[in-house]
Amino acid sequence: MIALSDVSVGFDGARALRDVTLSVARGERLGIVGESGSGKSMLGLAMMGMVPDAARIAGEIVLDGTAMSGAPERVWRRARARKVAMIFQEPMAALNPLQRLGETVMEPLLVHQGLGRSAARARTLELFDEVGIPDPEARLRQYPHEISGGQRQRVLIALSLTCDPALLIADEPTTALDAHVALRIIELLVRLADKRRMALVFISHDLAAVARATERIAVMYGGEIVEGGPTPAVLAAPRHPYTRGLLGARPGIGGQTPGRDADGRRKRLPTIPGSVPPLSLLPAGCRFAGRCAVELSHCAAVRPEPYRLPDGRFAACHLLGAGT
Amino acid sequence: MNRHLTPNLILGAILVALVVGVAGLSLIWTPHDHALMNIRERFGAPSDVHWLGTDQLGRDIVSQLMVAARNSMTVALIAVLMGGSIGVALGLLASALGGWFEDLIMRVADIGFAFPALLFAIMLSAVFGPSLWVAVLAIAFINIPVFARVTRGAANVIWTRDYVAAARAAGQGRFAISRDHILPNVAAPVIVQATIEFAIAILAEAALSYLGLGAQPPSPSWGRMLSEAQTLMFMAPQLAIYPGLCIMAAVLGFSLLGDALRDLTDPRLTRSRQA
């Protein structure tokens, strides 16, 4: 559905994305995980052709068989909503506070689909129904502040579905929601992707959410994909030291009481030492060098190639090449 | 007392209602024909017939003030609407397109700021001869850069909002986004600015009329009444005082209203008001 090869996004002296290669097929659900500043949101924007004006983008993006690299805004705009749509992290901020929900969702139907007002209205009601919004008639006339966060996110999902996109990018769609509502939204996204045979790119730092929502996973660090493969396999046995650190830093893994060791004593939560350095100060070799627990002498200087592992997995780490 | 109902807002609203009400009333009723002269009754004292007396030509002062209020409101309204709509459109365009186009528009606006309305009015009168429309055009012209700047500043903030990104993601173009999302969300600062500019426009109209570049006789105007009364200052000071008070009431009313509205809509000032 979408294929990126060696896509880089650079600002003055800093690279937000470096040589990212990935592809998502129709009906496939891909998770992208990483901490703040790992470039996962920039990757989402790159797939929408919406990187900031100040950024330079390089590499190939093929969307639904069309090469989009270097395409002008006009071309991207036609692709948006029809081929690729996006939902955002803050459902409150992503809805115009002065526009009725019906107007927001009907706009693309009127403009892109060329529907008349009554047809657009009927289609909006169908969409509201499809995304599980109760009493859709009443919602049409309401403003964003009148409904809950979960409902707002459903409205945004309805908006993203107006032109039957083949690919839906969800940028941290559940981060601003409480756990129970987040679960429902994930269930909805999975159901929609399966039913519509729509590709889903689910961007999140919530590993549990990604585990539920996706079949494949890509772990990002410092603007690169460091590990990828089927979601259950990667989460069960991570091969890259960064992925291991990320999984280890979750409280309560492996059935233990959170924060206690086997004897019931209080235990510190393992962390990855340090923090993500500024983009301009990332090492030239492996981007994780300097924070890695098992670093080799040449890691900071030599860039590791992604090593192919069985089951379609890969990880970019020198340790794998060394046979360990 | 409701904390939104500040004394500024109440006083401003009352003065504005008074001036606009009187101007509106003059459309259907004035005590006398404002242009009717009666030399025998000139410099008449206030009476049952002429509430504020008569002027040097025996015309009824109340009627003149009422029609002058209407003229003043009309000039201010048309000028602010004209200048405002052009300025808002330019501001939205600058914000939507960005880059060198935005720079160009804003630098031209800077030049417009440096250009005094009076000079422009004198220039226009030299070309077209003095009239009320010269005043309207001159005031509208100085309003364009003011509104362009306010709109562009507010619009640039709105462009960074997530709902604009969501609209782009839904395939909306720049102009559709400007219309559906930017314009409604910059309306508050623009309306506040319009109220303040209305006060400035009233003052500018009075100044231009005072110089003879605005409303022409017999159409009355506060500014011209003031300039005609000037030579009679020691004989009949009331002739200068009445239009002066009217100008003051109108300008004060719109200024107070504009300030109060800005305080209500500007979140940065909310905290200091509550403290």
Q: Does A42 touch chain B (CB under 8 A)?
A: no
Taking 50 as the threshold, does the pLDDT of residue A172 lie above it?
yes
β-pair partners for B193: none
- Tens digits of per-residue pLDDT, B51-65? 788 888 878 889 999
pLDDT of residue B119: 84
Task: Give, to the nearest 10 degrees, the angle between helix B132-159 and helix B117-128.
Answer: 140
Query: Hey, of A98, A153, A160, A162, which one would you mutate to test binding to chain B, going by the most B CBs within 10 A of its CB?
Result: A98
Query: Is residue A47, in this structure, part of any structural domain at all?
Result: yes
Question: Within a domain: residue A73?
Answer: yes
Same domain? A235 vs A101: no
Sign of CA dihedral A42, A53, B145, B177: negative
Asked whether the beta carbons of residue B166 and residue A78 sit closer than 8 angstroms, the reply is no
- pLDDT tens for each residue of B63-89: 999 999 999 999 999 999 999 999 999
What amino acid occupies position A9?
Answer: V
A288 is a domain residue: no
Partner-chain contact B170 A88, CB within 8 Å: no
- Claim to verify: residue A67 and residue A173 sit in the same structural domain: yes
pLDDT value of residue B42: 80
B171–A80 CB contact, under 8 Å: yes
Of B160, B147, B8, B153, nearest to B90 by C-alpha is B147
pLDDT of residue A253: 47
Instruction: Mark A143-163 as b/e (b = at least 16 C-beta within 10 Å).
Output: ebeebebbbbbbbbbbbbbbb
Question: What confidence tens digit (pLDDT) does each residue in A241-297 have?
Answer: 999 888 887 765 454 455 556 666 666 777 888 777 777 788 888 888 888 888 888
Confidence band for B268, pLDDT divided at 50, 70 and 90: low
> Does residue B91 have a pLDDT over 70?
yes
Q: Are residues A69 and A218 located together in one domain of the fold?
A: yes
**pLDDT value of residue B60:** 87
| pLDDT at res. B128 | 87
Is the pLDDT assigned to residue A192 strictly greater than 90?
yes
**Whether pLDDT at B273 is above 90:** no
Count of C-beta atoms within a 10 Å radius of residue A109: 23
Q: What percent of chain A has pLDDT over 70?
A: 94
State how far the alpha carbon of A112 is from the alpha carbons of A105, A106, A107, A193, B215, in Å: 12, 10, 8, 22, 52
The whole-number pLDDT of residue A147 equals: 93
Which residue in A has a C-alpha nearest to residue B164's C-alpha? A94
| Nearest residue to A286 via CA among A227, A202, A200 | A227
For residues A26 and A73, membership in a common domain is answered with yes
Q: Is the pLDDT of residue B265 over 80?
A: no
Report pLDDT for B121.
82
A298 within domain boundaries: no
- Based on the fold, state whether residues A29 and A102 are members of the same structural domain: no
Q: How far is B164 from chain A (nearest CA, A)?
A: 7
Same domain, A118 and A233: no
State mean pLDDT over A54-76: 88
In a domain, A305, yes or no: no
User: What is the pTM for the complete model shown?
Assistant: 0.83
Nearest by CB to residue A107, choosing from B98, B169, B172, is: B172
pLDDT at B98 over 50: yes
Residues from chain A that touch B180, judged by Cβ atoms under 8 A, are: 96, 99, 103, 107
Please compute the mean of the pLDDT values over residues B178-183 and round it to a whole number. 94
Q: What is the mean pLDDT of residues B203-227?
A: 88
Where among A237, A252, A267 does a domain terminate? A252
- Indicate whether A5 and A148 sit together in one domain: no
pLDDT band at B120 (very low <50, low <70, confident <90, very high): confident
A58 part of a folded domain: yes
Same domain flag for A248 and A105:
no
Domains within chain B, CATH numbers bracketed: 59-268 (1.10.3720.10)
Q: Is the pLDDT of residue A104 over 50?
A: yes
B chain contacts of residue A81, beta-carbon cutoff 8 Å = 169-171
What is the C-alpha separation between A238 and B152, in angstroms, rounded?
50
Query: What is A177-243 written as a DSSP string?
Result: S-HHHHHHHHHHHHHHHHHHT-EEEEEES-HHHHHHH-SEEEEEETTEEEEEEEHHHHHHS--SHHH
Residue B49 has a pLDDT of 78
**Mean pLDDT score, A227-233:** 93
Residue B274 has what pLDDT? 46
pLDDT-above-70 percentage for chain B: 95
**Domain ranges, residue A33:** 1-83+165-252
Which chain B residues touch A160 with a CB distance below 8 Å? 169-170
Q: Chain A residue with minimal CA distance to B161?
A: A93
pLDDT at B275: 39
Average pLDDT over residues A87-97: 89
Residue B124: the pLDDT is 86
Number of domain units in chain A: 2
Residue A289 lies in a domain: no
Nearest CA in chain A to B186: A98
| Interface check A88 vs B, CB under 8 A | yes
CATH number at residue A228: 3.40.50.300
Residue A302 scores a pLDDT above 90: no
What is the rounded average pLDDT of the residues A190-211?
Answer: 93
Put simply, the answer to whether A81 touches B184 (Cβ < 8 Å) is no
Q: Do A106 and A205 belong to one domain?
A: no
Pick from B168, B173, B180: CB nearest A99: B180
| A157 plus A177 within the same structural domain | no
Same domain, A73 and A171: yes
State whether B171 and A163 contact (CB < 8 Å): yes
Strands, E assignment, A79-215: 84-87, 167-171, 199-204
Of B165, B180, B184, Cβ closest to residue A50? B165
pLDDT recorded at residue B269: 52
Nearest to A162 among B163, B165, B170 (CB): B170
A158 shares its domain with A176: no
Q: Residue A290: inside a domain, yes or no?
A: no
Region B111-139 average pLDDT: 86
Q: For residue B46, name the pLDDT band (cuts at 50, 70, 90).
A: confident
Q: Say which residue, B188 or A275, is predicted with more confidence.
A: B188
Specify the residue for token string 């794998």.
Answer: A320
Last residue in a domain, options A200, A225, A252: A252
Report for A11-20, B59-68, B150-159: range of highest mean pLDDT: B150-159
B199 vs A14, which has greater pLDDT? Answer: B199
Distances (CA, A) of B218 to A5, B57, B67, B125, B258: 78, 12, 11, 18, 32
pLDDT at B55: 81
pLDDT in tens, A48-63: 998 888 888 989 999 9
pLDDT at B158: 94
Where is average pLDDT lowest: A146-160, B119-133, B192-206?
Answer: B119-133
CB atoms within 10 A of CB B234: 6
For chain A, what is the mean pLDDT?
87
Q: Where does a domain end: A252, A275, A298?
A: A252
Q: Give me B183's structure tokens.
A: 């314009």
Tallying the residues shown for chain B, one arrives at 275
Whether the per-residue pLDDT at A324 is higher than 50: the answer is: no
Please check the confidence at residue A224 and state whether its pLDDT lies above 60.
yes
Rounded mean pLDDT of B85-102? 94
pLDDT of residue A258: 53
What is the band of A73 on the pLDDT scale with cuts at 50, 70, 90? Answer: confident
